[in-house]
Structure 1
Amino acid sequence: MPTKLMMIFVGTDFIFAACGGLILGFSLMAEQNMTASPTSENVAPNLLLNQCPLTAGVVNSIFIFITFLLSLPALFLPQNRGWLRAQGWLVVFCATFTLGLGLAVWASTLQTRRNLAMLWARETPLVQSLLQQKFDCCGYFNSTSPPFIQDGTCTNSLVAVQKGGCIGQFSSFTNSYLDVIFTAAFGIVGVDVLLILCVAMVLKYRQEQERYRHIDEKNGLDGL
């Protein structure tokens, strides 16, 4: 009959594996979306995703799956503690890895306007035009710095001056979009910490059970 502690441990372990699937699915879908032809709807998200550590996310998810697989022997060997220790250290590694990814994305939001200015400057006129269409603006800082791209949104200089630059709208969109990503990463780290606590409690429980078994053996009760 499984104890409540083991049920919590198993549930948290499966949530941990699901988090790995979430990271893998997000990374692969993001990489696939970035190969699509740019439109006014996908141009901004794709530019931001291209700045995220997606390949590192795939590697992180692989380590999470390996850690989950190593936890299975610990579930089926109720007296074993070696597999649990190995899992615990691997969960610490995965948590540190995920935290690093989240911090990398978070750090990029600290200098959003500067980063976006460099991003805007190296993009093609087509991409700049699509960004103007998405945010209904002209140029980055303003219509002349850098010069706006003449298109259906910015038809002439007078219209461009009235609409203003894209810096405000693009920055707001970037911050809100990246906030979701690094907040999700920090949430996954929270799951990792919970699993580490569960591993520690199961290790303590099994250690106590082994100690009681040795006491019973010394008393001639054959470990019962």
Structure 2
Amino acid sequence: MVSRKLMGTWAVLDFLLLAAGAVLLALSIVWRAENTLMNMVLTPAYLTSGTILGISLLVTFAISIAAIVQKNHVTLGLVLLNYTLLLDAIGIVVIGTFVWFFTLQERENFHVRWLNASRETRIILQDQLKCCGYFNGTDLVEIGGTFCQNQDFVAGLQANETSNFCVTPITAYADSTLNNVFTTIYGFMAVVLCLLLASLCVIKKRQEDERFKKIDAKRGGRGFV
């Protein structure tokens, strides 16, 4: 019989898998709210990836429940669960690495996003972050709003004060946000792999129990004593 300690460990890990999926799905929905700076950092592609991964983890949890309640001699469900966990692990690595790789060249990558942003978006960010232009006061600056009201004001900004230009506050916010995102996603890998190992242990123990039952049956149910 599978020990209570093993099943308890498996249950805790399975609950953590449920929590991971719920957190991913919830944040992927919440972060779609109207927030100009966050919307620039967390693009729809990121949020869609998070939604898909969150749903995948929740589906895996559902499979795990169906698998664990099967009779001891039926291990097909747990085997299917393990293959599903492997797919989850691949998804975690791909998404986490994609976000991490983007952070390696944040200044240049967000310059592209700043370039592609609308005039209204750039003005909102300039007002919010109290900055003008991206790398400097002549780099894609938008005159207007409450901060960069005219060209004379922009020209008077100190060039050696990096906070005057939007690259610094944008990348500071993005660095903190994206680092937390990919670190958390990679953290889910521990849950997935530990549950995979626990499931393998449950399968092995159930197979041993069934083997001993068959041996016992051949001996006429007299046991080994």
TM-score range, shorter chain: 0.7 to 0.9
Contact 1:5 1:202 survives alignment (8 Å) = yes
Matching of residue 123 in structure 1 with residue 117 in structure 2 = yes
Paired residues of 1:214 and 1:223 also in contact (CA < 8 A):
no
Query: Does 2:37 correspond to 1:44?
Result: yes
Classify 1:69/1:51 alpha carbon distance in 2 versus 1 (closer, same or farther; 3 Å).
closer
Deviation readout 1:11-31 (Å, 9 max, x if unpaired): 211211221111111112223
Matched residue type, 1:9 = W
- Residue identity opposite 1:139 in structure 2: G
CA 1:222–1:94: 2 relative to 1, 3 Å = farther
Tell me what 1:22 maps to.
Answer: 23
Aligned to 2:7: 6
Structure 2 unaligned residues grouped into runs of 5+? 159-163
CA contact (8 A) 2:135 2:166 kept: yes
Q: How does 1:1-224 map to 2 (within 5 A)?
A: 3-31=4-32, 33=33, 36=34, 42-50=35-43, 52-79=45-72, 80-160=74-154, 161-162=156-157, 164-221=164-221
The one-letter code matched in structure 1 to 2:169 is Q
CA distance in structure 1 between the partners assigned to 2:222 and 2:10 by the alignment: 29
Q: Percent identity?
A: 30
CA distance in 1, matches of 2:197, 2:21: 19
Q: Supply the AA of the counterpart residue of 2:221.
A: L
Distance 2:41 2:81 in 1: 34
Q: What is the distance in 1 between the residues matched to 2:219 and 2:195?
A: 36
Amino acid corresponding to residue 179 of structure 2 in structure 1: D
Aligned length: 216
Q: Which structure 1 segments of 5+ residues have no match? A: 37-41
Q: Which residue of 2 aligns with 1:39?
A: none
Three-state SS of the structure 1 residue aligned to 2:104 is helix
Contact 1:137 1:154 in 2 (8 A): yes
The normalised TM-score by structure 2 is 0.87
Give the Cα separation in 2 of the matches to 1:61 and 1:128: 32
Q: Which runs of 4+ in 1 moved over 6 A?
A: none
After superposition, the C-alpha distances for 1:3-56 in whole angstroms (9 at most, x for unaligned) are: 11011101211211221111111112223x0xx3xxxxx211111122542223
- Sort the Cα spacing of 1:207 and 1:154 in 2 relative to 1 into closer, same or farther, 3 A: same
Residues 20 and 113 of structure 1: is their aligned pair in 2 closer, same or farther, counting only changes over 3 Å? Answer: same
Q: How far off is 1:150 after superposition?
A: 3.0
Maintained 8 Å contact 1:125/1:149: no
Of 144-153 and 3-12, the range deviating more from structure 2 = 144-153
Tell me if structure 2 keeps the 8 A contact 1:52–1:105: no
What SS class does the counterpart of residue 7 from structure 1 fall into? helix
In 2, the alpha carbon distance for the partners of 1:133 and 1:101 equals 32
Alpha-carbon shift at residue 107 of structure 1 (Å): 1.2
CA RMSD of superposed structures (Å): 2.1
